[in-house]
């Protein structure tokens, strides 16, 4: 029995514009499965302005901050914990560059190219690093036992070394 590959978790969002279109949502979940991501946790939620400002605090003061918070509070959206051996980079590669208009030129097969509308309304989010993924998973899924998941991964890694 080949050892189970070690995996990584990332936080993915299907933003409100996309979530409002069930046909597109179904297509995106097919992309997720076809790209071998395991959905570890999934919820839909509606943000208050303070939720959006807290999550995107790193962008406070930038010219697009208000429109970003307005966009992210404009309707329900899906939050997912995705698992795969290289989940963080893998999901970022699948959703593509931040700005859909540019993605349609430079990365036409990515999800933001296929479904995104404008620089702000780009339909997807993905954690951009290991520590960001930990922070973002805790932000959306405080109920998820991340410590247990990380311990199980470490135990599995130790067993494979033996
Ligand atoms: N650097 C910079 N870029 C800007 C500024 N205002 C708008 N932009 C960019 O130009 C793009 C088009 O601006 P808008 O027409 O206001 O936005 P939009 O095309 O309706 O789409 P949204 O990005 O969803 O607002 C935006 O997505 C921004 O990336 C600005 O003041 N400074
Ligand atoms: N130049 C911009 N114009 C409009 N909206 C932007 C711009 N840059 C970023 N945004 C919005 O802010 C969100 C967060 O920005 P950033 O963290 O830089 O990108 P990413 O979501 O790809 O990590 C983007 O997903 C997008 O919705
Ligand atoms: Mg980012």
pLDDT digits (tens, 9 = 90+) for 129-156: 999 999 999 999 999 999 999 999 999 9
CA angle in degrees (0–180, nearest 5) for 122-128-133: 110
Which SS3 state, helix, strand or coil, does residue 81 take? strand
User: What burial class does residue 127 get, using C-beta atoms within 10 Å of its C-beta: 0-12 exposed, 13-18 middle, 19+ buried?
Assistant: buried
Cα–Cα distance for residue pair 135/125, rounded to 1 Å: 14
What is the whole-number distance in angstroms between the Cα of residue 86 and the centre of ligand 1? Answer: 32
Which residue minimizes the CA distance to atom 1 of ligand 1? 63
Residue 135 beta carbon below 6 angstroms from any ligand 1 atom: no
125 is catalytic: yes
pLDDT digits (tens, 9 = 90+) for 3-22: 778 999 999 999 999 999 99
What is the whole-number distance in angstroms between the Cα of residue 161 and the centre of ligand 1? Answer: 51
Model pTM?
0.94
């Amino acid at each position: 029995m080949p050892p189970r590959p070690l995996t990584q978790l990332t936080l993915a969002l299907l933003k409100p514009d996309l979530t409002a279109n069930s046909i597109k949502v179904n297509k995106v979940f097919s992309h997720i499965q076809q790209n071998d991501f395991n959905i570890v946790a999934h919820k839909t939620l509606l943000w208050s302005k303070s939720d959006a400002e807290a999550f995107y605090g790193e962008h406070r003061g930038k010219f697009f901050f208000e429109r970003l918070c307005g966009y992210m509070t404009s309707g329900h959206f899906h939050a997912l914990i995705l698992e795969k051996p290289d989940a963080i980079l893998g999901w970022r590669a699948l959703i593509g560059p931040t700005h859909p208009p540019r993605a349609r030129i430079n990365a036409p097969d990515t999800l933001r190219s296929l479904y995104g509308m404008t620089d702000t309304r780009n339909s997807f989010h993905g954690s951009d690093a290991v520590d960001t993924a930990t922070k973002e998973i805790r932000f959306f899924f405080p109920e998820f036992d991340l410590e247990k998941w990380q311990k199980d991964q470490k135990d599995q890694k130790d067993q494979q070394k033996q």
